[in-house]
Amino acid sequence: MNDARSKHHTDDAQKRPMVRRREEFAAYAEQETERVQRAAENAIAGFNEEIEESRAEIADVRLRVEQQ
């Protein structure tokens, strides 16, 4: 029985680096997901600004055409 405990303890010791790597990767993946999400939100905000600017330009052109 003592041998079984020793083997179990050894198995746990061998798994620790793997568990640590998994946890590090999970933290990295979460950070990257947040970074990509922020980048996407910023890109969308930029596109929305461009759309609004284009709409304003179109409205100006329409107004000028109507006034002619």
Residue carrying structure tokens 């600017």? 53
What is the pLDDT confidence band of residue 3, given thresholds at 50, 70 and 90? low
Both structure tokens of 46: 């930029």
Both structure tokens of 55: 């709409």
- 62 pLDDT higher than 70: yes
Residue 15: CB atoms within 10 Å: 11
* Predicted confidence (pLDDT) per residue in 26-60, tens digit: 999 999 999 999 999 999 999 999 999 999 999 99
